[in-house]
Chains A and B, each alone.
Chain A
Amino acid sequence: SQELEQSPQSLIVQEGKNLTINCTSSKTLYGLYWYKQKYGEGLIFLMMLQKGGEEKSHEKITAKLDEKKQQSSLHITASQPSHAGIYLCGADPTGTASKLTFGTGTRLQVTL
Protein backbone atom coordinates (compact mmCIF):
# COMPACT_ATOMS: atom_id res chain seq x y z
CA SER A 1 0.00 0.00 0.00
CA GLN A 2 1.06 3.56 -0.57
CA GLU A 3 2.58 5.47 2.33
CA LEU A 4 3.13 9.17 2.65
CA GLU A 5 5.65 10.72 4.96
CA GLN A 6 5.49 14.39 5.83
CA SER A 7 8.21 16.53 7.30
CA PRO A 8 8.52 18.31 9.55
CA GLN A 9 5.82 17.03 11.91
CA SER A 10 5.48 20.49 13.41
CA LEU A 11 6.75 23.92 12.66
CA ILE A 12 6.77 27.23 14.50
CA VAL A 13 7.64 30.25 12.40
CA GLN A 14 7.58 33.95 12.97
CA GLU A 15 5.09 35.97 10.98
CA GLY A 16 6.61 37.08 7.71
CA LYS A 17 8.98 34.14 7.40
CA ASN A 18 8.95 31.60 4.60
CA LEU A 19 8.54 27.89 5.21
CA THR A 20 8.46 24.59 3.34
CA ILE A 21 6.63 21.35 4.09
CA ASN A 22 7.62 18.14 2.34
CA CYS A 23 5.65 15.06 1.40
CA THR A 24 7.35 11.88 0.20
CA SER A 25 5.55 8.89 -1.26
CA SER A 26 6.66 5.28 -1.27
CA LYS A 27 5.14 4.89 -4.76
CA THR A 28 4.60 6.96 -7.86
CA LEU A 29 1.65 9.27 -7.44
CA TYR A 30 -1.33 9.53 -9.78
CA GLY A 31 -2.21 12.77 -8.07
CA LEU A 32 -1.05 14.62 -5.01
CA TYR A 33 -3.42 16.76 -2.98
CA TRP A 34 -2.67 19.38 -0.38
CA TYR A 35 -5.25 20.20 2.26
CA LYS A 36 -5.32 22.47 5.28
CA GLN A 37 -7.21 21.62 8.45
CA LYS A 38 -8.05 23.78 11.40
CA TYR A 39 -7.98 21.66 14.55
CA GLY A 40 -11.00 19.38 14.77
CA GLU A 41 -12.57 20.69 11.59
CA GLY A 42 -12.92 19.57 8.01
CA LEU A 43 -10.26 19.78 5.33
CA ILE A 44 -9.90 22.75 3.03
CA PHE A 45 -8.60 21.95 -0.44
CA LEU A 46 -5.47 23.88 -1.40
CA MET A 47 -4.05 22.36 -4.57
CA MET A 48 -3.84 19.21 -6.63
CA LEU A 49 -0.77 18.25 -8.65
CA GLN A 50 -0.78 15.63 -11.30
CA LYS A 51 2.09 15.95 -13.71
CA GLY A 52 5.77 15.46 -12.98
CA GLY A 53 7.47 18.80 -12.54
CA GLU A 54 4.16 20.59 -12.08
CA GLU A 55 3.98 23.70 -9.94
CA LYS A 56 0.89 25.58 -8.80
CA SER A 57 0.45 28.72 -6.77
CA HIS A 58 -2.44 30.29 -4.95
CA GLU A 59 -1.92 33.55 -3.12
CA LYS A 60 1.21 32.96 -1.03
CA ILE A 61 1.23 29.17 -1.26
CA THR A 62 3.16 27.26 -3.92
CA ALA A 63 3.15 23.50 -4.36
CA LYS A 64 5.48 21.46 -6.54
CA LEU A 65 5.58 17.84 -7.64
CA ASP A 66 8.94 16.38 -8.62
CA GLU A 67 9.64 14.80 -12.00
CA LYS A 68 9.46 11.28 -10.63
CA LYS A 69 6.10 12.08 -8.99
CA GLN A 70 7.15 10.75 -5.61
CA GLN A 71 7.84 13.93 -3.72
CA SER A 72 5.98 17.17 -3.27
CA SER A 73 6.69 20.36 -1.40
CA LEU A 74 4.42 23.11 -0.15
CA HIS A 75 6.01 26.51 0.26
CA ILE A 76 4.45 29.45 2.07
CA THR A 77 5.90 32.87 1.48
CA ALA A 78 5.68 35.62 4.10
CA SER A 79 3.62 33.53 6.54
CA GLN A 80 0.66 35.04 8.34
CA PRO A 81 -1.31 33.92 11.41
CA SER A 82 -4.10 32.83 9.05
CA HIS A 83 -1.74 30.16 7.67
CA ALA A 84 -1.69 28.35 11.00
CA GLY A 85 -3.20 24.88 11.00
CA ILE A 86 -2.45 21.33 9.99
CA TYR A 87 -1.29 20.71 6.45
CA LEU A 88 -1.99 17.30 4.98
CA CYS A 89 -0.82 15.79 1.76
CA GLY A 90 -2.99 13.13 0.18
CA ALA A 91 -2.16 10.63 -2.53
CA ASP A 92 -4.57 9.28 -5.06
CA PRO A 93 -3.54 5.65 -5.66
CA THR A 94 -6.47 4.71 -7.85
CA GLY A 95 -6.88 7.73 -10.07
CA THR A 96 -10.48 8.16 -8.95
CA ALA A 97 -9.82 10.91 -6.37
CA SER A 98 -12.18 9.07 -4.04
CA LYS A 99 -9.81 6.97 -1.95
CA LEU A 100 -7.03 9.17 -0.71
CA THR A 101 -4.13 8.08 1.43
CA PHE A 102 -2.99 10.86 3.73
CA GLY A 103 0.30 11.77 5.31
CA THR A 104 0.60 12.26 9.04
CA GLY A 105 0.27 16.01 8.75
CA THR A 106 2.40 19.03 9.60
CA ARG A 107 1.22 21.31 12.37
CA LEU A 108 2.09 24.93 11.62
CA GLN A 109 2.10 27.70 14.18
CA VAL A 110 2.77 31.29 13.19
CA THR A 111 3.90 33.59 15.95
CA LEU A 112 3.57 37.35 15.94
Chain B
Amino acid sequence: KAGVTQTPRYLIKTRGQQVTLSCSPISGHRSVSWYQQTPGQGLQFLFEYFSETQRNKGNFPGRFSGRQFSNSRSEMNVSTLELGDSALYLCASSQPRNLADNEQFFGPGTRLTVL
Protein backbone atom coordinates (compact mmCIF):
# COMPACT_ATOMS: atom_id res chain seq x y z
CA LYS B 1 0.00 0.00 0.00
CA ALA B 2 1.44 3.34 -1.01
CA GLY B 3 1.98 5.85 1.79
CA VAL B 4 0.95 9.47 2.00
CA THR B 5 2.55 11.50 -0.76
CA GLN B 6 3.12 15.22 -0.85
CA THR B 7 4.12 17.42 -3.74
CA PRO B 8 6.24 19.30 -4.24
CA ARG B 9 8.88 18.32 -1.69
CA TYR B 10 10.64 21.66 -1.81
CA LEU B 11 9.41 25.08 -2.78
CA ILE B 12 10.91 28.56 -2.81
CA LYS B 13 8.65 31.59 -3.08
CA THR B 14 8.93 35.29 -2.44
CA ARG B 15 6.90 37.43 -0.09
CA GLY B 16 3.45 38.32 -1.38
CA GLN B 17 3.15 35.31 -3.65
CA GLN B 18 0.74 32.46 -3.10
CA VAL B 19 1.44 28.75 -3.00
CA THR B 20 -0.52 25.52 -3.33
CA LEU B 21 0.62 22.28 -1.76
CA SER B 22 -0.81 18.88 -2.56
CA CYS B 23 -1.37 15.77 -0.49
CA SER B 24 -2.51 12.33 -1.62
CA PRO B 25 -3.66 10.19 1.29
CA ILE B 26 -3.35 6.46 1.66
CA SER B 27 -5.90 4.71 -0.51
CA GLY B 28 -9.18 4.43 1.33
CA HIS B 29 -8.40 7.12 3.88
CA ARG B 30 -10.97 9.88 3.96
CA SER B 31 -9.48 12.18 6.58
CA VAL B 32 -6.59 14.47 5.72
CA SER B 33 -5.01 16.80 8.26
CA TRP B 34 -2.43 19.50 7.64
CA TYR B 35 0.26 20.67 10.05
CA GLN B 36 2.89 23.37 10.02
CA GLN B 37 6.26 22.72 11.65
CA THR B 38 8.68 25.51 12.48
CA PRO B 39 11.66 25.61 14.84
CA GLY B 40 10.02 28.27 16.98
CA GLN B 41 6.43 27.01 17.22
CA GLY B 42 6.91 23.31 16.71
CA LEU B 43 4.25 21.21 15.06
CA GLN B 44 0.90 22.97 14.84
CA PHE B 45 -2.41 21.80 13.47
CA LEU B 46 -3.77 23.77 10.52
CA PHE B 47 -7.00 22.04 9.50
CA GLU B 48 -8.59 18.71 8.76
CA TYR B 49 -10.81 17.63 5.90
CA PHE B 50 -13.11 14.67 5.93
CA SER B 51 -15.27 13.71 2.98
CA GLU B 52 -14.61 17.05 1.28
CA THR B 53 -15.66 19.09 4.33
CA GLN B 54 -13.46 20.97 6.75
CA ARG B 55 -14.08 19.26 10.06
CA ASN B 56 -11.50 20.90 12.32
CA LYS B 57 -9.55 24.10 12.14
CA GLY B 58 -6.51 25.39 14.00
CA ASN B 59 -5.59 28.94 14.92
CA PHE B 60 -4.14 30.19 11.67
CA PRO B 61 -5.10 33.32 9.71
CA GLY B 62 -7.45 33.17 6.77
CA ARG B 63 -4.50 33.28 4.37
CA PHE B 64 -4.26 29.57 5.01
CA SER B 65 -6.98 27.59 3.31
CA GLY B 66 -7.54 24.12 2.03
CA ARG B 67 -9.86 21.84 0.20
CA GLN B 68 -10.44 18.18 -0.40
CA PHE B 69 -11.54 16.50 -3.58
CA SER B 70 -13.89 13.56 -4.05
CA ASN B 71 -10.92 11.18 -4.30
CA SER B 72 -9.76 12.43 -0.85
CA ARG B 73 -6.73 14.23 -2.26
CA SER B 74 -6.24 17.53 -0.52
CA GLU B 75 -4.63 20.83 -1.29
CA MET B 76 -3.68 23.67 0.97
CA ASN B 77 -3.16 27.21 -0.20
CA VAL B 78 -1.30 30.05 1.41
CA SER B 79 -1.90 33.48 -0.03
CA THR B 80 0.17 36.63 0.41
CA LEU B 81 3.16 34.74 1.73
CA GLU B 82 5.12 36.12 4.66
CA LEU B 83 8.65 35.27 5.76
CA GLY B 84 7.19 33.54 8.81
CA ASP B 85 5.38 31.07 6.60
CA SER B 86 8.67 29.33 5.90
CA ALA B 87 8.16 25.90 7.38
CA LEU B 88 7.79 22.19 6.81
CA TYR B 89 4.18 21.47 5.92
CA LEU B 90 3.05 17.98 6.75
CA CYS B 91 -0.12 16.23 5.86
CA ALA B 92 -1.48 13.13 7.49
CA SER B 93 -4.27 10.77 6.59
CA SER B 94 -6.35 8.43 8.68
CA GLN B 95 -9.32 6.14 8.38
CA PRO B 96 -10.24 4.96 11.83
CA ARG B 97 -12.56 2.01 12.15
CA ASN B 98 -12.63 2.30 15.89
CA LEU B 99 -10.82 4.33 18.49
CA ALA B 100 -8.10 1.72 18.89
CA ASP B 101 -7.23 2.02 15.21
CA ASN B 102 -6.87 5.78 15.26
CA GLU B 103 -3.52 6.46 13.70
CA GLN B 104 -2.39 9.30 11.54
CA PHE B 105 0.02 8.40 8.76
CA PHE B 106 2.24 11.30 7.84
CA GLY B 107 3.69 12.22 4.50
CA PRO B 108 7.33 13.34 4.00
CA GLY B 109 6.35 17.00 4.01
CA THR B 110 6.81 20.00 1.76
CA ARG B 111 9.53 22.40 2.79
CA LEU B 112 8.49 25.92 1.91
CA THR B 113 11.01 28.73 1.96
CA VAL B 114 9.78 32.30 1.63
CA LEU B 115 12.39 34.87 0.59
Contact = CB atoms under 8 A, between A and B. Distances in A.
Are A and B bound to each other? yes
A90 B104 CA distance: 11
- With most chain B CB atoms within 10 A of its CB, the pick from A43, A48, A50, A101 is A43
A48 B101 CA distance: 9
A3 to B, nearest CB: 11
B2 interface: no
**Chief secondary structure at chain B's binding surface:** strand
A45 B33 contact: no
Contacts of A100: 33, 35, 45, 104
B45 A45 contact: no
A102 interface: yes
B43 interface: yes
Contact of B90 (A31, A33, A43, A45): A43
Contacts of B4: 42
A42 B90 CA distance: 7
B53 to A, nearest CB: 12
A82 interface: no
Contacts of B43: 88, 90, 102, 105
Contacts of A45: 103-106
Contact of A40 (B50, B58, B88, B94): B88
B57 to A, nearest CB: 9
Interface size class of A (residues with CB under 8 A): 20 to 34
A41 B99 contact: no
Nearest to A102: B43
Nearest to A30: B99
B14 interface: no
B56 interface: yes
A42 B109 contact: yes
A35 B102 contact: no
Given A33-B104, A97-B103, A100-B45, 7 more contacts: A41-B109, A42-B108, A43-B92, A44-B106, A50-B99, A96-B96, A100-B35
